Structure 1
Amino acid sequence: MSEQVIGANSEVVFHFSVKLSDGSAADSTKVHDKPAKLVMGDGSLTANFEKCLLGLKQGDNKSFELQPQDAFGMPNPDNIYYVDRSKFSVEVEPKVGAIIAFTQPDGTDLPGIVRDVAGDSVTVDFNHPLAGQVVTFEVDILEVKN
C-alpha cells in the first residue's frame, strides 16, 4: 500500500498546536484529545496554514514558524473602535482584556477585545487576538485520505 501524501483535495485528520513566540500555546487540539479533521481547501484553515500540510503523510510531525502576515495578519487600525459605555448592558461590564461579542447588522457575532476604558469611552479591538504575532504551527498527521 502506497503512503497517502497530503494534496489539494486530501481529507486530513491531525493534531495541531499554535504556539506564541514565548512558547505558550494559543490553541491546541491535544488539550481535549480531539484531533482536527478537514478537507484541504474547505476553508477550515487559511491558505498559508494549508500550505504547511501539503506533502506531509500519516505519521509526520512537523513544526512551522509563520510570520504575522502568513498567519493571522497584522493588526489593522481600522478594526479598533471607540464605543460609548452606554452601549454596554448592565450584565456586560467593559473591563480591559474582556472579550465581548457584538452582534452585527446581519445577526452574526463579532468578538472584540476591550483594550481601554477611559470615562465613557471604551476602546474595542476587533483584530484577531493573534494578529501581529509570529506563531509556531505544530502538526501531527494521524490520517490522510485522497
Structure 2
Amino acid sequence: MSEQQLARSIVCHMNIILEDGSTAESTKASGKPARFNVGDESLSPAFESEISSLNKGDKHSFTLDAIDTFGESNPDAVHHMDRSKFPADMALEPGVIVSFGGPGGSEIPGMIREVAGDSVTIDLNHPLAGQKLTFELEVVEVL
C-alpha cells in the first residue's frame, strides 16, 4: 500500500483532559476543530493508530502516555536567564508565556516557572509535555 493510499485528514472537535480531570484544551470553546493528517508522520504511531479508522460522526476517547503525545519533559529545555534580558516593563511571574526567536525567524514559546531575584527560570518544553493525556474526539469530517 502506498503512502498516498493511507494518507487522509480527520477533522474533529477535541478535548484534551489532564489526569486530574481538568480540561487543558477544547476546540469546541474556540469553535475551530482540529485537523489531523494520518500517514504523513506528523503524529505519534500510538496516536495515529487510535484515529486512523475513525469516520465522520464517530466519537472516540483514549488515553496516551506523555511519550506518545507531547513527549517527556526535557530538563535541558529549562533555562535560567538574567532579569535584564527581558523588557523592564514586562510582568515576569510563573505561568506567563514568553516568546523567543528561533531558527529561521520562528518563534519558540517558553513558560516562566520561577522568578528569584534577578534569575528567571524559563521552561521551553511544551506545556503538556510529561503528562498522561486523555483525548475526547468527535469527528466532523474526513478528507
Q: Say which of 114, 117, 140 aligns to 1:116.
A: 114
Q: Which runs of 4+ in 1 moved over 6 A?
A: none
Q: Are residues 39 and 131 of structure 1, via their aligned partners in 2, closer, same or farther at CA, if it must alter by over 3 Å? A: closer
Amino-acid identity (%):
46
Question: In 1, Cα distance between the equivalents of 2:25 and 2:43?
Answer: 13
Q: Say which of 120, 124, 127 aligns to 2:125.
A: 127
Normalised by the length of structure 2, the TM-score is 0.86
Residue 93 of structure 1: CA displacement? Answer: 2.9
Question: In 1, Cα distance between the equivalents of 2:57 and 2:68?
Answer: 25
Residue 34 of structure 1: CA displacement? Answer: 2.2
C-alpha RMSD of matched pairs (Å): 1.9
- Structure 1 gaps of 5+ residues are 1-6
Q: Are residues 110 and 44 of structure 1, via their aligned partners in 2, closer, same or farther at CA, if it must alter by over 3 Å? A: same
Residue 42 of structure 1: CA displacement? Answer: 4.7
The structure carrying a bigger helix percent of its residues is: 2
Count of residue correspondences:
139
Q: Are residues 137 and 77 of structure 1, via their aligned partners in 2, closer, same or farther at CA, if it must alter by over 3 Å? A: same
Normalised by the length of structure 1, the TM-score is 0.84
Give, as a single letter, the amino acid of the residue that structure 2 aligns with 1:70: D
Judge which range, 99-108 or 81-90, deviates more.
99-108
Question: In 1, Cα distance between the equivalents of 2:73 and 2:36?
Answer: 27
